[in-house]
Amino acid sequence: MKKRFFRSFTFHFLLASLLTIHIHYIGQDSHGIVLFELNPILNNLRYTHFAEAFIQPGPSIATGSLSGSISIYWYAAHLLSFGLYGFILDIIRLGFKR
């Protein structure tokens, strides 16, 4: 079971998400291009009323980005969306195996 999880898309996408979050946090993605623009869910969510009302006012943490801080909810949303992408790809792969 553990071996299968480490070979799943979900695991690898979650690792990629953590790496992306770390890159943004240390300031290497100061404009948020990798964090937001390459994630279709966050890119579309970014300019909605939901984001302004619930995600932006969340607890902020200091980052090396140009804005200087970001809501921790953006990082959680990135982690969840990448987990969702990996889960969907795992379901597709399971469908092909059967």
Per-residue pLDDT of the chain (98 residues; tens, 9 = 90+): 567 777 899 999 999 999 999 999 998 888 888 888 889 999 998 888 988 888 888 898 888 877 788 899 999 999 999 999 999 999 999 898 87
What pLDDT does residue 55 have?
85
Number of domains in the chain: 1
What pLDDT does residue 14 have?
96
- Tell the residue number behind the tokens 């969840």, with chain if given: 80
Secondary structure element (H or E) that encloses residue 8, with its range: none
Structural domain of residue 8, as residue ranges?
A: 2-97
Question: Is-contact 78 18, C-beta < 8 A?
Answer: no
